């Protein structure tokens, strides 16, 4: 029962993340870099900070926890900076491929590398036992990604230029595919950051913190690193494109609208990792499902993002064959997540 509760909580958070790009479509008269930075302030600073403060036991302050954590803080932030590159290119993949295809490719790659890289760093043998099961699972995931990419290619062939622009304004398949895969590889650093910050989580628990929320301070460190990367890029684009006026010359109504929807997008995005931390607390430490919880989150994100892609009609006019290939690709990706658990 505890495992089921944990999975449901992770699924709720995943649905929030997959829904986070819907409010952004309501942002008006702002350039991409302006709304991306604004929603990032909420997603990577405001709500993670609130979550971290919720995790602190009575009488324990956040500065106190971080100052005693030493190099673990900088490791988590460092991985966060690398993840920030993935987060930045993740946003660009949405721009060029749309919610469904962009998230599927980026999150599928993230799922594979986010599972494999930690195993390699731990020194696990990937050619026997559990390591081999893990490697096969990752290989299946990569096959699923390739099939989804093929569906995107078919979509491009079957749609007129007008249909492409109507579904996704800046649709660009080749550029989008490369960016989405890069986003997935770099986004896997988020999980590395969480593992690097494990001693901080242990410190919270030792101080009397709740198991439900103990991961939140670590999440804050990783998202803070990601914010630094994205802020540098977005502000440079503001300067390059002369779009600082988005912040200074927008009317009160535009500011209110955009701030509201950016905040909502940030909250929904953060819910995936808040849910991951809470959901993991229901799993047995060291169990198979705990080890693959990252992959479970990513696979659910892929599933829900494509539900939104269908709702938003991003695949409209793509053709029946394309939709069949897309579904097969998603099925393969989901099998890649289930496979290691079945083999156990």
Sign of CA pseudo-dihedral 224, 198, 289, 54: negative
Contact 4, 235 (CB under 8 A): no
Q: Count CB neighbours of 211 within 10 A.
A: 16
Residue 274 confidence (pLDDT): 96
Contact 43, 266 (CB under 8 A): yes
Residue 161 confidence (pLDDT): 60
Residue 22 tokens, joined: 């819907």
- The CA–CA distances, whole Å, from 217 to 139, 222, 295, 334 equal 33, 9, 21, 30
Residue 14 forms part of a structural domain: no
Residue 338 forms part of a structural domain: yes
Number of domains in the chain: 1
Residue 26 forms part of a structural domain: no
Q: How far is CA 48 from the centre of its chain?
A: 14
Residue 181 confidence (pLDDT): 84
Q: Residue ranges of the chain with pLDDT lower than 70? A: 1, 98-101, 103, 156, 158-172, 287-288, 337, 340-341, 344
Residue 253 confidence (pLDDT): 94
pTM of the model: 0.83
**Domain limits at 167?**
32-343
Residue 89 confidence (pLDDT): 82
Residue 84 forms part of a structural domain: yes
Residue 304 confidence (pLDDT): 81
Residue 342 tokens, joined: 């079945």
Residue 10 forms part of a structural domain: no
Residue 267 confidence (pLDDT): 97
């Amino acid at each position: 029962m505890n495992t089921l509760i944990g999975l449901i909580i992770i699924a709720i958070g995943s649905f929030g993340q997959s829904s986070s790009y819907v409010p952004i479509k309501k942002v008006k008269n702002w350039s991409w870099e302006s709304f991306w930075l604004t929603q990032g302030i909420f997603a990577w600073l405001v709500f993670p900070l609130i979550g971290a403060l919720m995790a602190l036991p009575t009488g324990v302050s956040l500065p106190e926890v971080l100052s005693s954590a030493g190099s673990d803080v900088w490791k988590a932030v460092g991985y966060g900076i690398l993840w920030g590159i993935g987060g930045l290119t993740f946003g660009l993949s949405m721009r060029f491929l749309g919610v469904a295809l962009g998230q599927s490719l980026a999150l599928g790659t993230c799922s594979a590398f986010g599972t494999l890289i930690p195993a390699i760093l731990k020194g696990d043998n990937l050619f026997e036992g559990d390591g081999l099961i893990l490697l096969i699972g990752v290989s299946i995931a990569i096959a699923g990604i390739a099939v989804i990419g093929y569906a995107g290619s078919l979509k491009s062939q079957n749609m007129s230029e007008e249909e492409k622009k109507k579904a996704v304004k800046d649709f660009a398949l080749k550029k989008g595919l490369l960016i989405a895969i890069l986003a997935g590889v770099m986004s896997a650093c988020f999980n590395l950051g969480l593992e690097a910050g494990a001693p901080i989580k242990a410190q919270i628990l030792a101080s009397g913190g709740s198991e439900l929320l103990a991961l939140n301070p670590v999440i804050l460190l990783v998202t803070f690193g990601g914010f630094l990367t994205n802020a540098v890029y977005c502000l440079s684009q503001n300067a390059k494109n002369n779009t600082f006026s988005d912040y200074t010359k927008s009317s009160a109504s535009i500011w209110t609208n955009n701030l509201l929807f950016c905040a909502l997008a940030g909250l929904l995005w953060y819910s995936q990792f808040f849910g991951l931390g809470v959901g993991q607390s229901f799993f047995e430490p060291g169990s198979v499902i705990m080890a693959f919880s990252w992959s479970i989150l990513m696979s659910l994100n892929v599933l829900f993002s494509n539900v939104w892609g269908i709702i938003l009609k991003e695949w409209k006019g793509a053709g029946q064959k394309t939709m069949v290939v897309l579904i097969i690709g998603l099925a393969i990706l989901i099998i890649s997540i289930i496979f290691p658990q079945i083999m156990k």
